[in-house]
Amino acid sequence: MTSKIKPILIIFGLLLTGYLTIWALFDFNISTGKRVGNLVKISKKGKFIFLKTWEGTLDEGSGDKLTYYFSVKNEKVAQELFSYQGKQVTLYYEQHFFGWPRETNYDVVAWTPKDQQVTVSDGASSSFNEVVSVVSRTLFCSFLGALYKDKELYNRVKEFVKVENMYVYKQYDKCND
């Protein structure tokens, strides 16, 4: 390797490592879930004009211990929640290592009114469908990959899921995309 190419490769490697580290710390999900409660407030705030973020509060019951603080990156989701303040909602979130520039490390990715019956069908486009496909697909497909090592077990689980939950059964094909 020539002496001119080696420093360029080292710099490229360091930049790539730095980028992956920043991504892992600030954008990699460490958990996903949902919370149900009364949407107390949601507001866009921040000390700097270019770093304003949507921050909200969900009351899950009575008292401070049941107050859930969250952030919203998606402008559309934030605007929808903004018009739904004071009502019961179900929030679907991703938890990150760090929240910066958000105030919390809980990023709400979708929501539904609490009493709304979530229906899932082929071709339906709902917030819940987006959450399932975005948040859970990797974990679900990894689980199927682990099961596939034992093809007999894989087929037994697939048949069981076909009987018990047709929605989950239909997700099997999406893992082969």
Can you tell me the distance from the alpha carbon of 56 to that of 19, in angstroms, rounded to the nearest whole number? 29
Q: What is the pLDDT of residues 5-64, one digit of tens each?
A: 888 888 888 888 877 776 666 666 778 888 899 999 998 887 667 778 889 999 987 666
CB 40 within 8 A of CB 59: yes
Whether this model's pTM surpasses 0.75: no
CA 18 to chain CA centroid, Å, is: 23
Interval 75-102 mean pLDDT: 84
Q: Give the pLDDT of residue 99.
A: 62
Task: State whether CATH 3.40.50.300 applies to domain 29-113.
Answer: no
Residue 28: left (phi > 0), alpha (psi -120 to 50), or beta? beta
> In the predicted model, what is the mean pLDDT of the chain?
76
Residues of the chain with CATH 2.40.50.140: 29-113
- Distance in Å from the first CA to the final CA of the chain: 39
User: 3-state class of 80 per DSSP?
Assistant: helix
Both tokens of 26, joined, read 């600030």
Q: Give the pLDDT of residue 119.
A: 38
Report strand pairing: 29-45 vs 53-59.
antiparallel
